[in-house]
Structure 1
Amino acid sequence: MKSGPLAIVGYMGSGKSTVGRIVARQVGWEFVDLDEVVAERAGLSITEIFDSLGERAFRRLESEALGKMLGGERVVACGGGVVEEPRNRSLLSQVNTVFLWEDTEILWRRTRGTDRPLRGEDYEEFSRRYSERLPYYLEVAALQVEVYERPPEDVAREIVAWLRE
């Protein structure tokens, strides 16, 4: 089996945390949701960080947390924008990183009504941001998994099989 850690990247709503928890349970590794780590360390919710400190401060906190979490036998579900920072892409390229592909329209529907600071007001903005991040997801990914509304257990099974190769 590949050694840890395993990072999971993808756009908001792609299932990183849900799939990550399943993978961690199946391989017996710790699970970490990077957004939860950032919020805990800041003492604020992600929305509060964006509202009071701004995106730049959030990205700095996110990069610090990523550097500390990418070690050992751990599955790390990363925030959707973690790949925007070159330093983070460098870190992610050095570990087992999985990109969860999902259709943009499905992601848009799945994130409707959620409290996600960068979701955007309209589909065009949402889609543009995904298009901008896509090359970065592909750059860091050692494995690309097509989600396309498959059950999270099926997606996790594919990742676990890859880890066990």
Structure 2
Amino acid sequence: MPPSIKREHRPHFPAPSTASTGKLPVPVPERSLTLIGMPGSGKSVIGRIIANLLGWTFLDTDRLIEQRHGGRLQGVIDQLGEGAFRQLEEETVLGLEVGEPTVVATGGSVVYSEAAMRHLASRSTIVFLDASLEVVRQRIQAQAPRGIVGLHEGGLEELFRERLPLYRRYADLVVQLHPGSAERAALTVLRALSVAAVRQ
């Protein structure tokens, strides 16, 4: 049985066609959102900002795993081993019930599970936050230590090359991230979703 999931809630309001962010209207997506990408791409920070802008629920699957095990992510990976951790990550995602507008920030290794990605795709629009290798490297170094599955002899560059095709395979939308604030990145994601919706 998939584990019971504790959610982090944000106030929810009926979604108009745009949400107010001071002077700028923000397009409201038609479906819940799932953010995928490398560790350090900003999924958690950007996802939380988007959820706050829209008045949606925010879920971070890495934090859900930490809550379940009562420790930091790297400690959980060290304790379980990478294979068991990937199974735990899959179970956590399969246990998500996205019944209201939600932004989900996933762990970078979620794309190794086809079942998890199918589950997310059936309930949300999947957005790949495409940050460059150099940006990812700088952020990971600034935030070290952090839990990263698959970071072995080849280092971050090899992991980046390995995962990039998986992110692109599962993404409904790819958003390239450029230097700037997390708030700017969040608005970029929402506007890209609006443009994509118009083109459909």
TM-score (norm 2): 0.74
CA distance in 2, matches of 1:157, 1:126: 28
1:15-26 matches, within 5 Å, as: 15-26=42-53
47-56 vs 61-70, greater mean Cα deviation:
61-70
1:78-93 matches, within 5 Å, as: 78-93=106-121
Matched residue of 1:99: which SS?
Answer: strand
Greater RCO, 1 or 2 (C-alpha within 8 Å, sep 6+): 1
Structure 1 residue 47: deviation in Å? 1.4
Q: 1:9 aligns with which of 27, 33, 36?
A: 36
Report the AA paired with residue 61 of structure 2: L
1:12-161 matches, within 5 Å, as: 12-69=39-96, 71=98, 72-94=100-122, 95-112=124-141, 114-118=144-148, 120=151, 124-161=154-191
CA distance in 2, matches of 1:105, 1:160: 24
- Extract unaligned runs of 5+ from structure 1: none
Larger radius of gyration between Structure 1 and Structure 2: 2
CA distance in 2, matches of 1:144, 1:73: 20
Q: Could you give the per-residue CA deviations for residues 52-109 of structure 1, whole angstroms, max 9, x where no partner exists?
A: 1111222122112212335131101101111011212222333201101111022112
RMSD value, Cα: 2.0
Matched residue of 2:188: which SS?
Answer: helix
90-99 vs 32-41, greater mean Cα deviation:
90-99
Q: Which has the higher helix share?
A: 1
Structure 1 residue 3: deviation in Å? 3.5
CA distance in 2, matches of 1:27, 1:59: 31
